[in-house]
Chain A
Amino acid sequence: MRRIKTRRFLITAAITILCYLLQCTLFPYLTLASVKPNLLLIITASYGFMRGAKDGMLVGFFSGLLVDIQFGELLGFYALIYLLIGYFNGLFHQMYYDEDIKLPLVLIAGSELSYGLIIYFFLFMLRSEFHFLHYLSHIIIPELIYTIVVTLGLYPLILFINHRLEAEEKRSASKFV
């Protein structure tokens, strides 16, 4: 059982780091209208509703921390935002079931929108940049759409990995009994 747990931990960590690396090396070259999707948000939100608040929070916290270390001005700022996203998606864990793709899409879109609004509010509006509609139409909405499109590809992958791990966990649990 313990081995399975460490394995899950390692795989989750690997997914997080891989997404972070892709986010800052490959995706800057795949921008559309100079906007790139937010992979870290996708995995944070998906772990939130797929595995519950705890996993969502941890994935969110560490991916946010990575962003903070390399690009953030204030250590802990992005960590807190992603932590919140993980937690609030975790609240929907009970409503979630595998076959349904609508709820994940709605949740990820909602997280993306609130992420954009939070960033705008704290990092732009407080510096007295008030062209909200411009930022909304040029950054927040395009990023949301692009992220949703990428979700359609990335989410089934995360789901598949999760299924495999869960099946293994079940098997070892029944063996144990």
Chain B
Amino acid sequence: MKKKKQTSNLNKYLFIALSALCIMLMVLSVFYEKTGGPFKVAANVTVIPMQQGINQLGAFLVDVSENFGTLKQAHAENKKLQEQIDELLMQNNTLQEEKYELERLKELYKLDQNYAEYEKVGAHVIGKDSGNWFSTFTIDKGSLQGIEVDMNVIAGNGLVGIVTKTGPTWSTVRSIIDDSSNVSGMVLSTSDKCIVRGDLSLINEGRLRFEQMENNDNPVDVGEQIVTSHISDKYVQGILIGYVSEVQVDSNNLTRSGYITPVVNFKNLQEVLIITKTKAQMTGTEEPAQE
């Protein structure tokens, strides 16, 4: 009996000690960003290599199963794609013309910042958030490869998210569909600004909300492109977020809100591209030169 009491006392002390440790870590990590450092290194030698291994195994299995896909399908697709190429070539020609015109106009306005050519590096997604509440994921490149917090992450031609944490060979990315994500966006055609918010209740439908768009005379139609805006201090300008799928005037009659269908398929994200310059670095070096 006495022994039992001792162990339960011991458990109590251990409980109090570990809780205190947790609270201390929380307080420390609020005030010092470096607190997580040793833990990140520990993760780097333990779970990260294993995650990479599992990921490679998964990719291999997917490859094998895809190879069994019928050749017929490939042929049919090939034919379809050929037709598409012809069509696109036509479009490309007209676009080329417009591009030259744009270049001339740009020169005219001395707008020589070319946002289309950001330098990027690729990375694999190796792990996803362990819970159901947030949409973050881990990639297999970290501070040793030059990844920094606040770098933008894209996939295909659309915005995926932003780097929120870096370890030696891994980083954590918060995707734009995450409930705590806010992106300053704008309508491509009219440059009306809005806030694009991730919403947990919309994740199932694969949609995003946008809010606080000025209710002016510029019409915003369904299918309009929303890109990252120039006033955002974290996201670089002109990355496609998605297409407007619904828009309505708010009850205050001053703003509009609605829904966006993102261009990126967040469910099957395997490879992403990271823009290796943060917005702060870009503006920090370019703004003083202009003034």
Contacts and interface: CB of A to CB of B under 8 A. Distances in A.
Interface stretch (A4-12, A99-107, A132-140, A158-166): A132-140
Interface string A66-89: 111111011111011001100100
B121 interface: no
Contacts, number: 133
Contacts of A84: 19
Interface string A56-74: 0100010001111111011
A57 B15 contact: yes
A51 to B, nearest CB: 11
Interface residues of B, number: 52
A67 B127 CA distance: 11
A129 B131 contact: no
Contact of B36 (A24, A66, A69, A131): A69
B43 A77 contact: no
B106 interface: no
A23 B51 contact: no
A119 B133 contact: yes
Interface stretch (B27-35, B143-151, B221-229): B27-35
A131 B201 CA distance: 9
Q: Is the interface of A mostly helix, strand, loop or mixed?
A: helix
B35 A75 contact: yes
A123 B133 CA distance: 9
B23 A67 contact: no
A44 interface: no
A108 to B, nearest CB: 16
A96 interface: no
Nearest to A120: B133
B29 to A, nearest CB: 4
Interface stretch (A31-39, A149-157, A168-176): A31-39
Contact of A76 (B23, B51, B132): B23
| Residue of B18, B30, B172 contacting most chain A CB atoms (<10 Å) | B18
B134 to A, nearest CB: 7
25 contacts: A17-B47, A20-B47, A24-B51, A24-B127, A24-B129, A25-B128, A36-B132, A38-B131, A52-B11, A53-B8, A54-B14, A69-B39, A70-B130, A70-B172, A71-B129, A74-B29, A75-B36, A76-B22, A76-B26, A80-B23, A83-B19, A87-B11, A123-B133, A124-B133, A134-B201
